[in-house]
Amino acid sequence: MYNVLIADDEIEVREGLKLKVNWQDMGFIISGEAANGIEAEELLKAEHFDLLITDMNMPVMDGVQLLDVCRSLNPSIQIMIITGYEDFHYARAGVRSQAMDYLLKPVTRDELKTTLNKIKDELDKKKQLHGDSEMMQWRLSQYYKEMKQRLLLDLVRGHRLPPSSLPERIRLFHLESWQDHSVCFITTGMRNSDVQTASVERVPEKLYLPFELLCHEMAQSYPDNVQVFHDGAHPGIMHFITLEGIQHEFAQQITAQTRSVLTMDVQVGLGLSVSGFERWKEGYIHSLLAWNSAGRKGAQDRVPEVDHSPLLPEETSRMLHRCLIRGELDTFRSVIRKELAYSFRISTSHMIRSLFQISLLFEQKSSWISPEWVLWLKTPDQAELLLMHWAEDFVNQQQPSEVGEDTVIESAKRYIEENYMLELTLTSLAEQYNYNSTYFSEIFKEAAGISFIQYVTEVRMKHAIRLLKETQLTVWDVTELTGFRSPSYFSSKFKKMFNISPSDYRLLHSEKIDNHDPKK
């Protein structure tokens, strides 16, 4: 219902207007009445009205003055002028105030109904536009959060990001100052005891979303000091990046808030302090290891001390990852056997830390080590058996060809899908998978059916179409967010693929196209 204010010094006129039509059936409700402009002004200040129906010749404050006041108080209000004076002065005031209609008394029922229908149509359009605008802002905010989380994951996983695009992405998400600060990573998630004792109404999966929302809310209370993200491969686990100095206070808040709001305990792992994006992966891994260690130590209110013992060497991690991608399980077994034996000579705890870090290479929720796993892990042979079981599952899920090249190409496709907004080159991707660029180009085209450049372009176009349909971003913004080098190049490629410009596509195809895949 739209709220109506009637201003007229004659009570008979006000009552007559109320009786001429069924206001509720037409979508209106008369929420206020005024005998002059002063009374109308007071009501306008106190309440929200969608429509003002006013006489022009009233005592104390006339309609001309009221229209000016009305526009200053509520610029979006609709105005209907009803007067017994066919005066150009009043008509001009109505035009200046953009009145929807100017009716002479006595107003007939048909005139009033026609004008009200016209006004309601206009109000409905404004309401729809406002709703569309709010939806667009929500979509943009979600897209922004998704892009920022992707960048944070790239940084903490140690992915090689193109130097040319990284500074721009850092600026886009206001992370410039974080490069120079010492930061601490915090990993938190439900204790295993909560998972075991959860009731049917409180199974872990039903707690994931409330827990994630609570973590985002806590991070927002430290807007300049805390970043929050999660890895979709590990549901129920949240990660924070805090400025050095507040990590212990914030970690205590995590345990207190989850206990108070969700009535559950969480285990918290604090990583060591690091400086510079190039060391974020180290801090991130330390927090994961501390989190896993906290699960073995059992429930406690105090956040456990951080173990700063050395992590698995970066080169060893890369070698193990390549073995998994290529399906080289014998080499994988040889490397982990050596690392586990070395760790076990230091301590059982150190071996568990090495086992946990190696398990992160699989990036699967089934590969996460729970406290129950480590209860029976007493020797390197047992740890090796567990890791090889996971490795075989991982390789089988990849469905590699005899030489593992199909798996490499599928991995490359996933990388393109996740990083289409970045600068992607055949050479950089070939280097990432340790291939000669010429050979990589050949096997990619054979597996994908199209060239590397064409594949990247089609992925980017798919996302560009989504942005054109779901947002009001400019062509320039769409170009930036989908990785094309310039708006002119994007428009040229778009028109070549779809025989229409991006702007015309948005105009003609909004909400009409079901298949977003570009033609080959």
DSSP state of 307: P
Average pLDDT over residues 5-34: 92
Evaluate if residue 201 carries a pLDDT over 90.
Answer: no
- Final residue in a domain of this structure, among 342, 363, 398: 398
pLDDT at res. 401: 42
Window from 331-345, 358-372, 417-431 with minimum mean pLDDT: 358-372
Residue predicted with more confidence, 78 or 400: 78
Distance CA 416, CA 410 (A): 10
Same domain, 285 and 366: no
Copy the structure tokens of residue 205: 């999966």
What was the pLDDT predicted at 403?
43
Question: Which position has the token pair 């995590």?
Answer: 254
Q: What is the mean pLDDT of the chain?
A: 81
Q: Is residue 484 part of a domain?
A: yes
The percent of residues in the chain predicted with pLDDT above 90, rounded, is 29
Q: Does a structural domain hold residue 443?
A: yes
- Percent of the chain whose predicted confidence (pLDDT) is above 70: 80
User: Which pLDDT does position 371 carry in this prediction?
Assistant: 44
pLDDT tens readout for residues 304-334: 555 556 667 878 888 898 888 888 999 999 9
Give tens-digit pLDDT for 389-423: 888 888 877 654 444 566 788 888 988 988 888 77
CA distances 373 to 213, 292, 364, 368, 419, Å, are: 29, 11, 16, 9, 35
Q: Do 11 and 77 fall within a single domain? A: yes
What digits encode the pLDDT tens for the residues 203-242? 567 888 899 999 999 999 998 899 999 887 677 889 999 9
Mean local confidence (pLDDT), 175-181: 91
Give the pLDDT score at 95. 55
**231 in any annotated domain:** yes
Domain region containing 336: 314-398
For residue 134, being part of any structural domain is answered with: no
Q: How far, in whole angstroms, is CA 390 from its chain's centroid?
A: 31
Give the domain CATH number at 44.
3.40.50.2300
Give the residue from 297, 326, 351 where a domain finishes. 297
Tell me: do 378 and 460 sit in the same domain.
no
Looking at the structure, tell me whether residues 259 and 241 fall in a common domain.
yes
Residue 157 inside a domain? The answer is: no
What is residue 131's predicted lDDT score, i.e. its pLDDT?
Answer: 66
Residue 518: pLDDT above 70? no
Q: Which of 28-32, 96-100, 451-455 has the lowest mean pLDDT?
A: 96-100
- pLDDT tens track for 39-68: 999 999 888 899 999 888 888 887 778 888
The answer on 409 and 393 residing in a single domain is no
> And the tokens for 416?
């393109």
pLDDT interval class at 367 (50, 70, 90):
very low
| 491 and 472 share one domain | yes
Number of domains in the chain: 4
**Other residues' Cβ atoms within 10 Å of the Cβ of residue 263:** 9
321 and 270 fall within a common domain: no
Give me the DSSP letters along 432-467: HTT--HHHHHHHHHHHHSS-HHHHHHHHHHHHHHHH
Indicate if 98 and 214 belong to the same structural domain. Answer: no
Residue 170 lies in a domain: no
Please tell me the predicted confidence (pLDDT) of residue 64: 79
Query: What confidence score (pLDDT) does residue 309 get?
Result: 61
Can you give the CATH number for the domain in which 263 is found? 3.30.70.270
Q: Look at residue 169 and tell me if it is in a domain.
A: no
Interhelix angle for 452-470 vs 502-509, to 10°?
50
CA quadruple 480, 481, 485, 490: dihedral positive or negative?
negative
Q: Supply 41's token pair.
A: 């002004």
pLDDT at position 154 over 60: yes
As a whole number of angstroms, the distance between CA 293 and CA 344 comes to: 16
pLDDT of residue 194: 47
The structure tokens listed for 241 are 């990046």
Cα atoms in the 13 Å half-sphere on the side-chain side of 356? 24
Lowest mean pLDDT among 106-110, 257-261, 390-394, 490-494: 390-394
Residues 275 and 331 in one domain: no
* Residue 364 exposed, middle or buried by CB count within 10 Å (0-12, 13-18, 19+): middle
Answer whether 430's CB lies under 8 Å from 440's CB: yes
* Residue 450 belongs to domain with CATH number: 1.10.10.60
Please check whether residues 202 and 245 belong to one and the same domain: yes
Does 30 reside within a domain? yes
Same domain, 362 and 460: no
**Residue at a domain's end among 297, 332, 359:** 297
Give the Cα separation of 288 and 365 in Å (integer).
14
Same domain, 424 and 504: yes
**pLDDT for residue 136:** 63
pLDDT band at 202 (very low <50, low <70, confident <90, very high): low
